[in-house]
Structure formats: structure tokens, C-alpha cells
Amino acid sequence: MQKLTIRMMLMAVGAAGVASAAVPAPAPEPDPGIGLSLTAGSLGVGGDLTVGLTENLNIRAGLSYFTWTQEGVGGGNDKKDLKLDLLNVPITLDWHPITGNGFRISAGVMFNNDRGEVSAKNGQTVSINDVDYQVSGLSGKIDFNRFGPYLGIGYGNAADTSAHWHFSSDLGVAYIGTPSVTLDATALDPAQQAALNSDVAAQIGKYQDDVKWAKFYPVLSIGVSYTF
């Protein structure tokens, strides 16, 4: 009887071993990678570095730049020289709520050194508050807050090691506050300087109204990424 009991115990242990061997072990989760992206959009042309923290969470830092200069802008006698410089550094956390899907929700901060400039040369005619003046010089600037929060959505995961190449896109908004406007002009005819000063003050108010929308700066970009 004792031998029969021992045999039954050995058979039960063996059966349990066979059953456990038949169940495959779960596949290990892939390690997140590192990706580089080339981007173009409303912030300019640039690139991103993405580092995977977990399978669903990445940290991303970017750099974008754009510059544009045009002389003699305006209609009729109103001629001004314009310049726009955009330099932005976004840093975000990207959360992919659906494992294996490129959709992401991004939140972070946007550092910028954006600036717009207007100028006029000696002897140019410009329109200030709808009044034409000949000036010996004119200069103005639009400055933005240096940083603000960012929130957006997008597609693409540059840290996904299941493939090397990925498409990326972003749609979001950065709150950078209302830009500040400055303008200074000197009349070629000193007798007109007092009237010009008054019109410059009125024109600053108009420019300030024109740029109010920019406190919520739209971010739209597309790109291509390579995962290492």
C-alpha cells in the first residue's frame, strides 16, 4: 500500500511538470529605444530627440528655426522692411495610451526666442496710424514670452524599436502670453515730430490688438523619425 501511494505521488508531480512545461512563458516587453526626427511646421524646420522611458511613455526635446526678411513691404507710398525670426525648443512627455499604436498625448513646456522686427530707412515714406510720414528712421519689435506650457496630440513613436522608420505629426497649442509691441520713429521734418509721436502711440495700440491671438500659439508639424 505504501509503495502504491509513493507511485501515485510521483505520477502527480510528473504530470504537473509536464503541464507547466506546456504553458509558454509570456514574451518579454521590448526595451524602449532612442529616436531622431526631422520636422517642419508652424515653428519652423528642425528636429527632435526622443528617449523611451517605458513602453508607453517617452520624453522628447526639439529644436526648430525659421527666418524671413523682406524689404519694401507695403502698398503705395508705405514701404517698410520686415524681419521674422522663430527659434523654439519644446520639451514634452509623450504618453501612448494604446500599446503598439502611434497615437500620443503630449504635455510640456515651450522655450522660445521668437521676434518680429519692422524698420524703415532714411527718407522712406511710411504709413503710421493711416497717416503718411517721411522718416529719417523707424524701428519696431514684437517680443514674446520666453516660455510657456504646451499641450497637444500627435502620432508616431520614435522610440518604438519594432521598426526603424516612423512617420510623425503634432497638433497642439503653446500658451506664451500676449506679445509686447514697441515702435519708434523720427520724422524727416522736425515740425511733424509731435504729430508723429501721437500717431506712433495709436499705431502701437493697433499692432497690440493685431497680435493678441498669438498668446495661444498654434503648433502643427509633420516629420519622419529613425529609431536606433
Under 8 Å between Cβ of 150 and 106: yes
Predicted pLDDT of residue 6: 46
- Report how many domains make up the chain: 1
CATH code for the domain of 122: 2.40.160.170
- Computed on alpha carbons and rounded to an integer, the radius of gyration of the chain in Å comes to 31
Predicted pLDDT of residue 30: 65
Determine the structural domain holding residue 116 and report its residue range. Answer: 32-227
Predicted pLDDT of residue 18: 43
- 22-71 pLDDT, tens digit per residue, is 455 555 566 789 999 999 999 999 999 999 999 999 999 999 999 999 98
Cell of 185: 520713429
pTM for the full model? 0.77
210, part of any domain: yes
43, part of any domain: yes
Predicted pLDDT of residue 66: 97
Predicted pLDDT of residue 25: 53
CA separation (Å) from 82 to 67, 79, 119, 120? 11, 10, 7, 9
Segments in the chain below pLDDT 70: 1-30, 75
C-alpha torsion 187→192→197→203, nearest 10: -80
Under 8 Å between Cβ of 39 and 219: no
Closest listed residue to residue 137, CA positions, set 126, 147, 153: 126
Predicted pLDDT of residue 87: 96
